[in-house]
Structure 1
Amino acid sequence: MCDVDLDDLDFTRRPYDRWKAYDQSKTACALLAVSLDKCGRHHGIRSFAVHPGMIITPGIRHITWSELDSFGAVAADGSPVVDPVRDMKASEQGAATTVWCATSPALDSMGGVYCENCDVAPAEQDGPCGVRPYAVDPQRAELSWQASDRSRHRKDLILRLIV
């Protein structure tokens, strides 16, 4: 939903906004997939960014009830809304794209792509689905890689991805 501010990865020079930080982290993950794929493809290692959909899990513990309600993510009884047409999925449905990326022969010759709904997402400027072109741009990925190289967080991030 927004590009990464490469000059202020840690929100040290601008007011912190948790939704902007979340959106930037998702873009950064997509760009990292592009960079990691570039590094690993010659060794037979491919990397993908995966969008599982909106899934109500314990990870949303910091989102208020009113925010969840405004997203239409919970029913009146408090149960999660499952409506794949609106990208609201059960955990199993959300996991399907990750499993597809790990096993699909359709991806044998590609990597560094953004996947959703068990397919490679189309590049879209607007809308709820697809990937923004800046999130899979190889030049932007290289700039992001360089910016993260200057950041104290990259080593930890890479180690978490490997483990």
Structure 2
Amino acid sequence: MFAKYLSICAVLGALLFASSCDRKEESVAPKMQKEVEVIEGKSKMYIDAVNARDLDTIVDQWSERAVYKNPYTEELVNGRKGIRSEFKKIFSNNNQAKIHVDEKTIRFPIEEKAVEEGVATIIVPGKNPVKRKYKMIYVNENGNWQILHTNRLGFGLED
């Protein structure tokens, strides 16, 4: 039972890395507005894939250089192959958890890097919805924005 709980938490942590909602209005240089729109599209694609448990689409959003740290087991996995294996384990304890991102911002702290930050609601049948902050770092690899890293989310399913 505890392992299933950890798997649910890991799935929900993964769900926080992207969004399908409106972002907070924030001043973005006009030349970067197109990049914001691209990242928003990638973000929506990712959250939809996680909610649908679409492993191929999830993995395609990550950089081959990505490092994923499971926020509950603290296991580190590298690259798409490692991320695929980790999400396969997470999804093997299937649950009906879904995520909805309530708000987000996208900024560009340095060239070829973007940071998406926001607040998401985790919805698990039979539980009270839980709101949590998240952060995802993207890297532009040959004109393609890919997920490079996420923060340690560290949330549970408590009421």
Fold-level match, TM-score > 0.5?
A: no
Please state which structure has a larger fraction of its residues in strand: 2
Please state which structure has a larger fraction of its residues in helix: 1
Larger Rg: 1
TM value normalised by structure 2: 0.28
